[in-house]
Amino acid sequence: MNKYLTCSIFLFVLILSLGCNENIQSNPTVTSINIDNSCKEPLCLSDSISLLELENRALNENVLKIFSAAADPVRNKVYVSGILTPGIAVLDGKTELWSDTIDSGMGEDYSLKYLYIDSLKNYLYIIDGSNKFLRRIDLNNGEIIGPVPISSKSGIAAVDTKRGRIYLSSRLSPHFSIYDGKTLNLLYKTDQMGEGTGDLFYDDKNDVLYVLDFLNPIIYVFDPSTFKIKYKLDFEASCCGGNSKELQFDQETGTFYILVARHVDIISSTGKIIKTIDISEDRDIEKITFEPKSRKLLILSLDRAGDGVVSGVGGHLEVYEAGTGKKTTELSFGKKPHRFTINSSNNRIYVPNGDASVLWSISMDTYGTAKPIRLGDSVEGVLLSKNGDKIFMNSRLGGSYLIEYDIKGGTYETFTSGTWPIPIRLDSKGETLFVLNAWDSTLSVYSLYPKRSLISNISLGVPDGTTDRLPDMTVGSGNNIVYIGYPEFGKIIAVDWRNNSIIKTIIINGFQRGEQSGGPGDLQLAFDSKNQKLIVLWTQDAKLLIFDANRNYNLTREVDISSINLKKVKEGANVDLLFIDSNKNRLFVGPYEFNLGTFQMTGRSLQEGQRIFAYDPIENAYWASGVKQDGKIQNDIVSVIDSETLKAKHVEILGQSHTTKPSFALDQNNRKLYVGHMTKAVLEIYNIYEIK
């Protein structure tokens, strides 16, 4: 997809490269400091650019890493939440266009927001699974009640539209709770059904609530009128001791559908197995739903991880006749879809797919195709090519694409290289662009002059990436080698990009592979071109590994850095923690200074900030980002650090800190600082004046 737009010139002088991880030169040619008597501060905000406005998005508020969807069949609307943003997006079911965002009453921090709708009262419930809170929004007037503390982290609930209530289950005590929908007052709680209290289904026809025991083959039949358990239904289970996950119910026939491991048991009202549906052995079931209108059972599954792949990715929707268990159709789509909801008003299924920035729409008339409805933007890296004539930006959670800005032509163009293009880097001349397609495990190499053209797409010889343990990449200067570190595989791949070949795959012994870890920043790279050393930061084990490029990348040093507080460092930044200043023979790990030759700590550290992102020769200073505590509030900061003393010359407070940290770029020649806010998809532009 290509787009062209005439823009003002300032838009294209946005950003210098963020972290090519190459040697920093202390004496480039620079221009003079800005003088503007109207600004009395060292940094003055001059402009702010919203990518939502630039791209003419329907919504004026970003909704990123979409997670949960709830359909209102009365008004034909679908509500969609994002993990990284507070707003709730509203989809018009008739046009399938985004119509609005509503305030959730929540902040910008990471939160799993489970949505439930009461279409009769027009209430939207939000379960904050990350922080264990419940909120209710009256969609008639926007009134927000809550947050009310709850015990549930799983987001399992059922809505009673007859009484205007919401029922919650939890592995933590209290295991079962009932809240009034209007006030969110706690009406009832009990631990009677035990730690296995699980999935819920409200049967409005018979006015009972079915409560599945996760740990035992039991369904509790609960009377919401008396707050009493009417009886327990012991049911037969096909496997696993009845350790089950989900419950669906057919009100017409009294049939239960119970997800047990990779099987769905069809259970009679007396607890007998009628039939068991087994899905393919290479898949894992994510969710099941009974659709009463067509009397179909819908099963959403993911490809099971195998052949070196760490986590299942590819999504499948299988459709079965509910009565016979006969499979009627199957549709494959998406990357890691986990949940879905049905909108009976337009007879469509909606599947939020946060890792693809897409809400999938599937017609239940045919189940023929999955239509992507795009939602969310992000900027996760910015680079400036030589002479400052082209700017490149990459989007991962906001959709797998890149943007090229042509400053001279006043146009921009979007292009794709692969799935999850992160990170992006340039060579030292600014003439070649390297894009790691993290979920394809390929490296795309582009020549940028006279116009962008794809030179090669190089397979890295490892399985496709599948997790958010984001890889890192650094470009060697003078040896045509790109180094890529994959935490989920515990490997570093050295690629000769001119010859399209892998020259070395380094296996890091003892490194924790797989999906579970600390997320982005587990494995970070920098290349010391002067000494031809590959420097690797292993954050979990608090080590620096030094590999000699002149000796077939033999491991020559292993440096224990456990004496520094990496956890504290990662509060301010969890990526791009390595910074090399070869002219001063320095390596920085976060704020801590090391001798680049001996890899010993000097005992010095930055006075303010957690990581350096640029050297400024005009000020003879490092620019650093981080966080700073002000009473009970933690703020994001940018600091200007004297490169000789490492003392702060200036500290700029940018606002309250959140889960995702700002990204920074310094244009030293034009005296501009660019601050990118990933979740808001906003770029702030600061003029830099004299820093005393």
pLDDT score of 565 more than 90: no
Name the strand (E) or helix (H) holding 568. helix 566-572
Over residues 1-13, mean pLDDT: 36
CA dihedral 79, 84, 85, 89 (to 10 degrees): -20
> Which of the two residues, 105 and 10, has the higher pLDDT score?
105
Lowest mean pLDDT among 132-141, 169-178, 423-432: 423-432
pLDDT of residue 457: 98
Measured at the CA of 656, the angle between CA 651 and CA 658, to 5 degrees, comes to: 115
pLDDT score of 22 more than 80: no
567 phi, psi to nearest 5 deg: -60, -40
pLDDT score of 93 more than 50: yes
Beta-strand pair 208-213/421-426: unpaired
Position 518 confidence tier, pLDDT thresholds 50, 70, 90: low
Lowest mean pLDDT among 5-9, 420-424, 605-609, 677-681: 5-9
User: In the numeric block, which tokens belong to residue 104?
Assistant: 């959730």
Contact 452, 412 (CB under 8 A): no
Q: How far apart are CA 106 and CA 147, in angstroms?
A: 9
Position 454 confidence tier, pLDDT thresholds 50, 70, 90: very high
* Domain ranges within the chain, ordered by starting residue: 9-54+386-688
pLDDT of residue 15: 35
Q: Using the 8-state DSSP alphabet, how is residue 464 labeled?
A: P
- Give the rounded percent of residues in the chain with a pLDDT score beyond 70: 94
Tell me the residue ranges of DSSP E strands in 16-111: 43-50, 66-72, 77-82, 88-92, 97-102
| Predicted confidence (pLDDT) per residue in 470-510, tens digit | 999 999 987 789 999 999 999 999 999 999 999 999 999 99
Arithmetic mean of pLDDT over the chain: 90
Contact 670, 31 (CB under 8 A): yes
Q: Which residues pair with 77 in a beta bridge?
A: 72, 92
Contact 521, 542 (CB under 8 A): no
pLDDT of residue 654: 94
Q: Is 46 exposed, middle or buried (0-12, 13-18, 19+ CB in 10 A)?
A: middle
pLDDT score of 432 more than 50: yes
Q: How far apart are CA 577 and CA 154, in angstroms?
A: 34
Closest CA to 240 of 274, 268, 215, 270: 215
355 phi, psi to nearest 5 deg: -75, -10
pLDDT score of 658 more than 80: yes
pLDDT score of 421 more than 90: yes
| Predicted confidence (pLDDT) per residue in 198-256, tens digit | 999 999 999 999 999 999 999 999 999 999 999 999 999 988 877 899 999 999 999 99
Over residues 34-49, mean pLDDT: 76
pLDDT of residue 255: 97
Q: How far apart are CA 417 and CA 425, in angstroms?
A: 14
Over residues 306-334, mean pLDDT: 93
pLDDT score of 7 more than 50: no
How many C-beta atoms surround the C-beta of residue 165 within 10 A?
20
Convert 622-652 to b/e letters by CB count within 10 Å (16 or more is b).
bbbbbbbeeeeeebbbbbbbebeebebbbbb
Give the Å distances, CA to CA, from 380 to 4, 46, 389, 485, 611. Answer: 21, 22, 20, 18, 17
| Predicted confidence (pLDDT) per residue in 590-620, tens digit | 999 999 999 999 999 999 999 999 999 999 9
Report the amino acid identity of residue 221.
Answer: V
pTM: 0.91
Q: How far apart are CA 585 and CA 580, in angstroms?
A: 8
CATH among 3.40.190.10, 2.60.40.1190, 2.130.10.10, 3.40.50.300 for 9-54+386-688: 2.130.10.10
Over residues 544-549, mean pLDDT: 97
User: What is the DSSP track for 136-195?
Assistant: EEETTTTEEEEEEE-S-SS--EEEETTTTEEEEE-SSSSSEEEEETTT--EEEEE-TT-T
User: In the numeric block, which tokens belong to residue 353?
Assistant: 């797919």
pLDDT of residue 453: 97
Q: Is 85 exposed, middle or buried (0-12, 13-18, 19+ CB in 10 A)?
A: buried
Q: How far apart are CA 536 and CA 530, in angstroms?
A: 16
DSSP-derived 3-state class of residue 352? strand
Who's near 482: CB < 8 A, 6+ residues apart?
425, 434, 443, 473, 474, 475, 476, 494, 495, 497
pLDDT of residue 59: 87
pLDDT score of 275 more than 50: yes
- Give the rounded percent of residues in the chain with a pLDDT score beyond 90: 74
